[in-house]
Amino acid sequence: MHRERGHAALGPKVSVMDELKTGPQPRPAPLPEGPGADGSAVAAPGLVGENLLTGENLLAGENLLAGESRRIGFLFNHDQIHQVAHSLPIAMALARQGAAGRIVVCTTSARLSAEVRRIGGAMIGRELTLVELRARPVSRMLARVFGGLLPAHKLLIYRDNLDFFRGLDLLVVAEKTSLILKTRYGLDRIGIVHTRHGAGDRAIGFDRASAGFDHVLCSGPKIRERLLREVGLEARKVTVVGYPKFDLCRREKVLPKGFDPAKPTVIYNPHPSPHLSSWYRHGREVLDFFLDHPEYQLIFAPHVMLFERRLVVTVDRPGAARPGRIARKYHEAPNIHIDLGSRALTDMTYTQAADIYLGDVSSQIYEFLLEPRPCLFLNSHHVAWQGDPNYLHWQAGPVIDGPAQLADGLAQAVATHQAQYLATQRAMFAQSFDLTGEPSSDRAARAIVAFLADREVDA
C-alpha cells in the first residue's frame, strides 16, 4: 500500500464578507524586535486581550520594523506550502547580497513556518526574520466556521495585521490576494511585487488583477508577452528572472517505495478547478485503468489543493465540487502510489520520478518538462483547445477525451514522443523559462533592488 496525507455558533447576521467589510480595526500591538533565539517564528501579538509571546520573545514592546531604513516583507499566506519555493529563494538571495535592508519573512500558519525553516535553514533567525502573523479571536472563530468551504483565514489575516503591513516599504508575494491591502485597505504606500507561482497557461494567470502590482517577476518570455498583451502592463513593470524554484531542485529520480524501475511510471496530476479538472468526471476511471493494468505504475499526485477542503470552490468561474474520498482498493494496489498532501507534491519529487505525464491544466506540466518526456492530456470538458493560449501546454503530447482512450493514448505518447513532440517540448520550455548561468533567485533579487532604487528616485 502506498499512501501519504498532508495534513461555537454565530448570530445570523455574521458572515466572512460582513467581517471583511467592517473596515480597519484598532491597530494591533507592535511586534517584537528580532526572531526567536532558536530561529522559530515570532508571533505578531495583534490579538485583543491575548498575549501570544512569552520568555525571550516578549521584548519591551518595540516595533519589529522600527528604525530600519528599508523594510522588505515576503508573505506566505495560504492553506498549503506550494508557494514558498517560488519566492523564499529570492529572500535568501537578497540577504546574501546584503544590500536590500531588513528582510522579514511572514507566514500565517505553523505549516508555512515549518516549510520556511526547512528551506531557509540557518538563514532563518539570522539574515532573515521569521514572523508568524496571527488572526484576532473573532476571525479565528469565523475561519473555524467557514474554513472548510472558503479561505476565510487567508482573507481576514490582512485586516488583523494592518499595522504590520503599514510598516513595510515593500511586500513580495506569490499570489494575488494581497492586493486587498491596496484595493480594500488603502495601503498605497507599500510597493507590492508579484513573483507568481508556476509558468502555466490558464487565463486566471493573466487577468486584470495582475495590473494592480507595482512590479511583476516572471519566468520567461511567454509569460511576459501575455502580461503585456492581455493585462496591459507596462514593459518597465515586468522583469524576466527565470524560475527560482529550480534553484532548489535536486535533479534526481526517486521512485516511491516498492516501485520497479524497469516498469514505466505515470504521474496523474489533475488540477482542482471543477470547470477545468479531469478529476471530477474521470478521475476514478483513471485510477481503475491503472488498477487493471499492473504493467504501469501510477503516482497519483493531484494539485496540492484538490483534497485540502471537502468542497473545492473557484472564483475565476464561480463553481464548486466535492473531490470525494479515495477508495481503499486504490490505496492497497501495489502499483499505485497515492499522495494527497505531502511535501513531495510541491518539491518536484514526483515530476522528476515519472516517465510519463498525465494531466489536464496544471502548471506542473512545465516543471515536468525540465526533462522532456512523453505527455498525455485528458480533455474531460471537450474544450476546443487548438489555438487557445490557455491550453498551449496540450501541444506537448496527444490529447484524449476520456479514460476509455488511455491504453492507446499512453502507447501513442511514448511511440510519437521523439519524432513528434520532443522539439515542441523543448521550445515550450524555453519560452516558459529563461534560464541562464546565474541562479534565478539571484536575478530576481537584483530586479527587486533595481525596482527599489527606481522607486526611491521617483519618490
CB of 311 closer than 8 Å to CB of 322: yes
Report d(CA 397, CA 388) in Å as an integer.
Answer: 15
Q: Please tell me the distance from the alpha carbon of residue 360 to that of residue 376, in angstroms, as a whole number.
A: 9
CA distances from 416 to 19, 276, 286, 427 (A): 55, 26, 22, 17
Give the H or E element holding residue 313. Answer: strand 312-314
In angstroms, rounded to a whole number, what is the distance separating the alpha carbons of residues 350 and 344?
Answer: 7
pLDDT the model gives residue 232: 96
Count of other CB atoms within 10 angstroms of residue 452? 20
**Cα 44 vs. chain centroid, distance in angstroms?**
23
Give the pLDDT score at 457: 74
What is d(CA 199, CA 205) in angstroms, rounded to the nearest whole number? 9
Distances (CA, A) of 424 to 154, 199, 332, 351, 394: 39, 16, 38, 19, 11
How far from the centroid of its chain's Cα atoms is residue 155's Cα?
Answer: 16
Q: pTM of the full predicted structure?
A: 0.87
| Residues of the chain scoring pLDDT < 70 | 1-68, 148-149, 459
The pLDDT score that the predictor gives to residue 147 is 73
Coil, strand or helix: which one is 395?
A: helix
Half-sphere exposure of 159 (CA within 13 A, CB side): 21
**Listed residue (346, 353, 251) closest to 298, CA to CA:** 353
CATH number of 265-432: 3.40.50.12580
161-218: per-residue pLDDT in tens?
A: 999 999 999 999 999 999 999 999 999 999 999 999 999 999 999 999 999 999 999 9
- Rounded Cα distance, 324 and 302, in Å: 13
Q: 191 phi and psi, to 5 degrees?
A: -85, 135
Do 300 and 338 touch, CB atoms closer than 8 A? yes
Q: Where in the chain is the domain with CATH 3.40.50.2000?
A: 15-243+438-458
Q: Looking at this protein, which amino acid is placed at residue 203? A: A
Cβ–Cβ < 8 Å for 80, 120: no
pLDDT of residue 450: 95
Q: Rounded distance, CA 316 to CA 410, Å?
A: 31
Going edge to edge, which strands form the sheet with 42-43?
A: 42-43, 129-132, 102-107, 71-76, 170-173, 191-194, 215-218, 238-240
Check: CB of residue 7 under 8 Å from CB of residue 346. Answer: no
Distance of CA 116 to the CA centre of its chain: 13
The confidence score (pLDDT) of residue 23 equals 39
Nearest alpha-carbon partner for 20 in 170, 136, 194:
136
Architecture of domain 15-243+438-458: 3-Layer(aba) Sandwich (3.40)
Residue with the three cell numbers 510519437: 416
Taking Cα atoms as reference points, which of 175, 192, 205 lies closest to residue 432? Answer: 205
pLDDT of residue 143: 84
E strand or H helix at 74? strand 71-76
Write out the residue limits of the CATH 3.40.50.12580 domain(s) in the chain: 265-432
- The residues, ordered by sequence, that sit 6+ positions from 179 with a Cβ below 8 Å of its Cβ are 192, 209, 212, 213
Q: Please say whether the beta carbons of 350 and 339 come within 8 A.
A: yes
pLDDT at 44: 53
